[in-house]
A and B are shown apart, each in its own frame.
Chain A
Amino acid sequence: MSTPAAIAGPAARARLDRSRVGPGLVLLVPSVVYLLVMFVYPFAYGVVLSLRPGPGAGGGLSLANYLAFLTDPWQARTIWVTASIAVPNTLLTVGLALVVAYAMRRGIWLERTITTVLILPIALGTVLVAEGINGFYGPKGWPNQLLVAAGLGDPLRLTHNYTGVMIALFVQHFPFCFLMLLGYISGIDPALEHAARILGAGPWAVFRRVMWPLIAPGAAIAFALVFVMNFGVFPSAVLVGQPAGATRTIAIAAYQQAFEHYDMSMASAVAVIMGACQLVGLAVVLLLRGRLRATGVATLGAGKR
């Protein structure tokens, strides 16, 4: 763009810029309007709502809702509960997906079948998966029946607790994360790996010195997305968890405020706090990614060769 403009001189450049920018801006209008009406307005409305506590509290803005939530141990605890599900689950999901995707990067036997089976949980939806987990891992499910039949002890409690939510979230998010990483990793030129091998790198050195630096940016994005999804966990926490105790996540707290106490203002405050926590998680991931870049690792993603 700069070359023809530089040759044409300032006047022509101004003309050129206007002729390019004008119609472009007009074409942007529908999408901007859509974003404003469908996203920015409801979001801003929610934030303002959260700052106007109580039906009878007049028109002034106040932080009362936030203070009430954060000072009530029963409520504030949900942040810790949610994080203690979201962080380990994200690490587990991304870590395992990374291992499996890396192993499958050059294609394996029955790859299409395996991929289809892995995608199924995404297609089936959260509720069906949760019901399936309740049945399968529950007291009458195969694993526990086998355990008892083999005389190995009492049935394990795998549902309606922390473990149940961990299983459900893993089943839902692993395929998504796996497919994303598989696409990323198989996009890396196999010749890079071959070059490293011939130069003397064993499989581990290939991963550490060549593949991981190229995968890291993609893994960071996968981590961020899975973390955000995990932090917002609601259906699984209710259906396979223990929504009154061990898995009372922040989303459940918001739901109760909105539809059990009918306090939309408080519910909005809880939702904003949840959003802030998710942003903190994203910031940490991006910070780590930036650190990688600064040390010379991950200067380029796989797609930018």
Chain B
Amino acid sequence: MIQSLRFRLTKRFGPKTVLDDFALEVRGREFVTFLGPSGCGKSTALNLLAGLLPPTAGEIWLDEARIDGLPPERRGFGMVFQNYALFPHLTVFQNIAFGLELRGRPRGEIVERVRRMLELVQLPGFEARYPSQLSGGQQQRVAIARALVIGPRLVLLDEPLSNLDAKLRLEMRAEIKRLHADLGLTAIYVTHDQIEALSLSDRVVVMKDGRVMQAGTPAEIHDRPANLFVADFMGYRNFFPLTVTGRGADGTVLGRAGTLQLAGRTAAPLAPGAAGIAAVRPEDVLLTEDAPGVNVLSGRVRLIEYLGREHDLEVELPSGQSVKARVGRPVAVGSPVALRLPAERVVVLPPEDGLGATP
């Protein structure tokens, strides 16, 4: 059981900086997710930690030992790949036993540990099958078993669910969560799927262009995004550029966006007169009978999409801006509606250039 993994890594491919002084400390038994769009450096970071790529600069410390000079086979990690990477010429048993055999464990112990591992990933009796005889979900279970059977000090998971269909993905997500809890694993998980990141992690690191945009608990990332990029990535779809007019002691802030009066929360030092951007999710926008005022907007329904339980509305404001709302009942296209943005669900962010804001 490790106490902590600390690293600070820079990686350049030619002139392109893929990881820019990416630093983090992971505690023992923690489940940390690197979340970001493709090309943000999250998989590169994982490969550097695994030793599959050399860093351009930086160090990796596992407890009191510096490990960035060690080849991958001497780091004692486990890794699960997006495409499973099972050895096609070996049976399920031989695949899982691979790491134990290299460690010279006695035959009896190997047989027993492989059997226990197969039970743990719910594939008992599959020892003699070849990977080509398994479904995608079964292959990924074997890949997880192969990575965990050696008792790795750290488990690295590189988008392990992205090749699975939606139903299987939910199932395997729960499975990974269960294994993490049962075995007390220290894990780093890479994904571009915010739901996976929120549901699995103790801590989420949102990345962009090789830098950390925000690191925090899933709730912090979800409810209090630190910047427009994180807000956009976490599903905030409505953005109102505003000028701050006042601010309360408890982090609330009041602003004016054209003719609209908006109140929200902020963690940024926004003084009256400063520019900011209010962000709110479609799920947090409510239909209301209230008269227009602070955080109450009126507009006309332009589009409605039926989603089964809910309806997605696109409402056009008199200013021409459109607001997306997810509501529980259908509203006729063209009818006037009033929308309320609950102040505790409105996040006011410092302005940045070119990040998701709709003008």
Contact = CB atoms under 8 A, between A and B. Distances in A.
On whether the two chains bind one another, the answer is: yes
A201 B89 contact: no
A191 interface: yes
A200 B89 contact: no
Contacts of A194: 50, 52, 72, 79, 81, 85
Interface stretch (B9-17, B98-106, B117-125, B191-199): B98-106
Contacts, number: 79
B103 A213 contact: no
A205 B102 contact: yes
Contact of B73 (A201, A210, A296, A304): A201
Instruction: Please classify the interface of chain B as helix (H, G, I), strand (E, B), loop, or mixed, using the class held by over half of its residues.
Output: loop
A213 B50 contact: no
A20 interface: no
A198 B79 contact: yes
Given A194-B52, A195-B79, A300-B132, A201 B87 contact: no
Nearest to B91: A296
A196 B98 contact: yes
A300 B102 contact: no
Contacts of A296: 89-90, 94
Interface in A186-211: 189, 191-192, 194-202, 205, 209-210
A286 interface: no
Instruction: Please classify the interface of chain A as helix (H, G, I), strand (E, B), loop, or mixed, using the class held by over half of its residues.
Output: helix
Given A194-B52, A195-B79, A195-B81, A298 B73 contact: no
A89 B324 CA distance: 73
A304 B131 CA distance: 11
Interface in B48-102: 50-52, 71-73, 75-79, 81, 83, 85-90, 94, 98-99, 102
Given A197-B73, A199-B150, A214 B88 contact: yes
Given A297-B89, A299-B130, A305-B88, A200 B81 contact: no
A200 B50 contact: no
Across the A-B interface, give the 4 residue pairs with the lowest CB-CB distance, nearest first. A191-B85, A199-B99, A200-B102, A197-B72
17 contacts: A191-B83, A192-B87, A192-B88, A194-B72, A196-B98, A197-B52, A198-B72, A198-B78, A198-B147, A199-B73, A199-B102, A201-B73, A209-B98, A299-B88, A300-B88, A300-B89, A300-B130
Interface of A: 189, 191-192, 194-202, 205, 209-210, 213-214, 296-300, 304-305
Interface of B: 50-52, 71-73, 75-79, 81, 83, 85-90, 94, 98-99, 102-103, 130, 132, 146-147, 150, 156
